Amino acid sequence: MQPLTVTPARERASTKSGTTTEAHFWEFPTVPGARHYTITVCNKAGGIQQRYHVLQSDIDATAVTSIPILTADEPFPPAIPVREELTGTVRASFYRRESGIRYLLVWGRGFDPAPYYENNPIHVVVAY
């Protein structure tokens, strides 16, 4: 098992009506030879809020896409299937981009995303 570097990512897209949609993600790379990934989302104090298990085979079966989130101009991007490891956890949205796997943290526009990143730290471990 190996921990991965997780970085903030942002996507901006224009809608048909001329407004802008902005989505903020945590992003981690795909790893050659990986079997699965364990994603743990914590609260600011370090307590575990969510834990997900993603198989490399499910990542491979999900198309790499550049479709933006919520512009109404495109179909919604295909999500990678994930398995929740904690009961009562809301299903997270994971997308396969050219640069890696993106976990949708928050979307909207005109707000500061820094508190979302600060209050929702994430850890990803890959198993071979």
pLDDT of residue 34: 97
User: From the first residue on, what is the mean pLDDT of each consecutive set of 10 residues in the chain (128 residues)?
Assistant: 96 83 93 97 92 96 89 79 82 92 85 88 97
pLDDT of residue 21: 82
Tokens 């809301």 belong to 90
Beta-carbon contacts of 14 under 8 Å, excluding residues fewer than 6 positions away, are: 20, 21, 71
pLDDT of residue 90: 66
Q: In the chain, what are the domain boundaries? A: 2-73+89-127
